[in-house]
Amino acid sequence: MEDNTKLHADVLVIGFGKGGKAVAARMGHAGKNVVLVERSDRMYGGTCPNVGCVPTKALVHHAGKRRPGDSAQEWYERSVGQVEALTSLFRAGNYDGLNGMDTVRVVTGHATFIDSHTVEVDSEGSRSTVSGDTVLINTGSEPVIPDVPGLKDSKYLLTSAELLYTTVLPRRLAIIGGGYLGLEFASIYRRFGSEVTLLEGSPRILGREDDDIADAVQTILTEEGIDIVTGARILEVRDNSEDATVLFEVGGDKRNVNVDALLVAAGRRPVTEGLGLEAAGVETTDRGAVMVDKFLRSSQPHIFALGDVNGGPQFTYISLDDGRIVLDQLIGEGRRNTEDRVAVPQTLFITPPLATVGLTESEARRTGRKIKIASQPVAEIVAMPRAYVVEETRGMMKFIVDVDTDEILGAALLSTDAQELINIVALAMRQGVTAAELRDAIYTHPSSTEAFNDVLSTIIRSDQ
Ligand SMILES: Cc1cc2nc3c(=O)[nH]c(=O)nc-3n(C[C@H](O)[C@H](O)[C@H](O)COP(=O)(O)OP(=O)(O)OC[C@H]3O[C@@H](n4cnc5c(N)ncnc54)[C@H](O)[C@@H]3O)c2cc1C
Ligand SMILES: NC(=O)c1ccc[n+]([C@@H]2O[C@H](COP(=O)([O-])OP(=O)(O)OC[C@H]3O[C@@H](n4cnc5c(N)ncnc54)[C@H](O)[C@@H]3O)[C@@H](O)[C@H]2O)c1
């Protein structure tokens, strides 16, 4: 069916991601005419509120509340329902928040460039075009399915988005990949009651972290009952009538595990296929990301790329910051850029969470600086009774500090409240607050921040 609707916008946004929607709202408020095209009515607001951060963290919360006597299946089904209600609310809020503005229109359909200013929008067979003076590509990323015989065609294979909508708790779940996504899902589903086998190809999980931190995480997850197999080479997936068999090899030994569901968590690649970037003259990197400069302009100066699609770190707050950079180009001073970013924190939402910022100990050593390490197990931090109050004394805290300048170079906090604490450390690092100043600051009681009073006084290694 043809639809001859032709729309023109000052700003055309392709994809309802975090950065694009922030720019759309701001430009709309500034009186600019904005059209945002989103391919799915299940995705208003993008990955994060629909199938990413929000539902997964809500499941962390619900899984953690299950008591031993609660039926695993009933608890899971109820939790999935509650999470779905939450994401529906956020989805509607995202749609209304933008489409409710006089200056912004949300169009539902798949956008494909037909020239450098125009996209064709395909909405269930009907076609229209939208052109824009400025165009923002904000199409996100999608899961990579490793090339393993039988995997792609297995009827037990699920992406993270598909697993989130499953109302039957898998009794046995295998996860391919031990990165952020794999570890979070392993932790969530184990706590709901699944038997979880996590298969990581590298010699250990959390390859970027120091050994002591990765070991502490692995110990916690293993004690929760997750079977973590590192150095696993997956050979084949075979579908049986009732389940699937995953065959893999570890150190020359062939092993297998039978499962009811198989989650692929082996990384995500930018969504650029099918976008018609050639027609727009937009260049991509060899990894399929839109190639951008530090101001996020593509090879076509009026086309920007924000969020996962530009190949940068895959976090919602990075997409949001990409939005700030683009806004500064469109209506600001044009100076803000990706090189301004310092001390960007991240959190792995297992229980307790692992939050990190800056350099690891091994990275700091490689810089040639003299460093000292302040570290304590959470259970031994006298200044942090909160860990005992909330009955979560597992984990450790670690700071990497420059011996000569007392500059905080990095931190890894595996602890209750770490997702909040890390933002304080990151702010301190950005503002040049020294380790001694962070150590000797006044904090409320009983809080987790108080731990800094103790941990930063506990130097376990120093180069001097
Ligand atoms: C399970 C999971 C958990 C995560 N947890 C966290 C977390 O706790 N914290 C965190 O910071 N990050 C987390 N992330 C990462 C985070 O969700 C992403 O980095 C972020 O959402 C990327 O946003 P974006 O702006 O790039 O685009 P997205 O939010 O991915 O939006 C892109 C949109 O574009 C649409 N689209 C694609 N192609 C087209 C087209 N041709 N036409 C029209 N529309 C199109 C898509 O449907 C989608 O809605 C998680 C990711 C996953 C998968
Ligand atoms: N809390 C958060 O902020 C959060 C949570 C989930 C996801 N995310 C984002 O989503 C992105 C994608 O997450 P991810 O964990 O899928 O990707 P990732 O790249 O972080 O991890 C993928 C893991 O899979 C392993 N792997 C790859 N192929 C494999 C194979 N064939 N067999 C076994 N192991 C294999 C890799 O060695 C790696 O450890 C991340 O970059 C992250 O930024 C963020």
pLDDT tens-digit map of 194-241: 999 999 999 999 999 999 999 999 999 999 999 999 999 999 999 999
Is residue 10 domain-shared with residue 103, that is, in the same domain? yes
Residue 218 φ/ψ, nearest 5 degrees = -60, -40
151 is a domain residue: no
Is 353's C-beta closer than 6 angstroms to any atom of ligand 2?
no
pLDDT digits (tens, 9 = 90+) for 276-285: 999 999 999 9
Is residue 165 domain-shared with residue 257, that is, in the same domain? yes
Is residue 212 domain-shared with residue 128, that is, in the same domain? no
Residue 425, token pair as written in the block: 């450390």
Give the residue from 167, 130, 110 showing the smallest Cα distance to 33: 130
CB 412 within 8 A of CB 209: yes
430 is a domain residue: yes
pLDDT digits (tens, 9 = 90+) for 312-328: 999 999 999 999 999 99
Nearest ligand to the CA of 418 is 2
Residue 294, token pair as written in the block: 């530090």
CB 212 within 8 A of CB 396: yes
Is residue 397 domain-shared with residue 280, that is, in the same domain? no
pTM for this predicted structure? 0.97
Total domains, the chain? 3
Q: Which residue has the tokens 């929760």?
A: 224
Range of the domain at 186: 157-266
Question: What is the pLDDT at residue 464?
Answer: 77
Boundary (domain end) residue, out of 309, 340, 371? 340
- Cis, bond preceding 352 (omega within 30 deg of 0): yes
Residue 101, token pair as written in the block: 């503005």
242 is a domain residue: yes
309 is a domain residue: yes
Average pLDDT, the chain: 97
Is 51's C-beta closer than 6 angstroms to any atom of ligand 2?
no
Nearest ligand 2 atom to alpha carbon 202: 37
Is residue 315 domain-shared with residue 455, that is, in the same domain? no
Distance from the CA of 264 to the center of ligand 2, in angstroms? 9
Asked if residue 1 has pLDDT above 80, the reply is no
- Rounded to whole angstroms, the maximal C-alpha distance in the chain is 75
Distance from the CA of 37 to the center of ligand 1, in angstroms? 15
With the most atoms of ligand 1 within 8 angstroms of its CB, the residue from 12, 13, 21, 53 to mutate is 53
Looking at the DSSP bridge assignments, the partners of residue 398 are 375, 412
Nearest ligand to the CA of 108 is 1
Nearest ligand to the CA of 228 is 2
Q: How are beta strands 141-143 and 253-259 bridged, if at all?
A: unpaired
Is residue 333 domain-shared with residue 441, that is, in the same domain? no
Is residue 204 domain-shared with residue 299, that is, in the same domain? no
pLDDT digits (tens, 9 = 90+) for 214-224: 999 999 999 99
Is residue 285 domain-shared with residue 306, that is, in the same domain? yes
Asked if residue 8 has pLDDT above 80, the reply is yes
Distance from the CA of 335 to the center of ligand 1, in angstroms? 26
Nearest ligand 1 atom to alpha carbon 320: 25
* d(C-alpha 396, C-alpha 367), whole Å: 24
Is 200's C-beta closer than 6 angstroms to any atom of ligand 2?
yes
Q: In what order do the strands lie in the sheet with 232-239?
A: 232-239, 244-250, 253-259
Asked if residue 10 has pLDDT above 50, the reply is yes
Is 165's C-beta closer than 6 angstroms to any atom of ligand 1?
no
* d(C-alpha 250, C-alpha 242), whole Å: 26
Is 176's C-beta closer than 6 angstroms to any atom of ligand 1?
no
Mean pLDDT for the stretch of residues 88-96: 98
Is residue 45 domain-shared with residue 57, that is, in the same domain? yes
Boundary (domain end) residue, out of 247, 266, 285? 266
Nearest ligand 2 atom to alpha carbon 265: 16
Q: C-alpha distances in angstroms, 441 versus 267, 355, 399, 417, 453?
A: 40, 21, 16, 18, 7
Mean pLDDT for the stretch of residues 361-387: 97
Asked if residue 3 has pLDDT above 80, the reply is no
Is 167's C-beta closer than 6 angstroms to any atom of ligand 2?
no
Catalytic residue annotation: 445
152 is a domain residue: no
ipTM above 0.85, yes or no: yes
Mean pLDDT for the stretch of residues 19-34: 98
Is 180's C-beta closer than 6 angstroms to any atom of ligand 1?
no
Question: What is the pLDDT at residue 372?
Answer: 98
293-301: long-range contacts, CB 8 A cutoff, minimum separation 24: 294/337, 294/338, 294/339, 295/325, 295/329, 295/334, 295/337, 296/322, 296/325, 296/326, 296/329, 296/338, 297/329, 298/137, 300/116
Which residue CA neighbors atom 6 of ligand 2 most closely? Answer: 181
Question: What is the pLDDT at residue 4?
Answer: 67
Question: What is the pLDDT at residue 39?
Answer: 98
What band does 355 get if pLDDT is binned at 50, 70 and 90?
Answer: very high
Boundary (domain end) residue, out of 266, 286, 302? 266
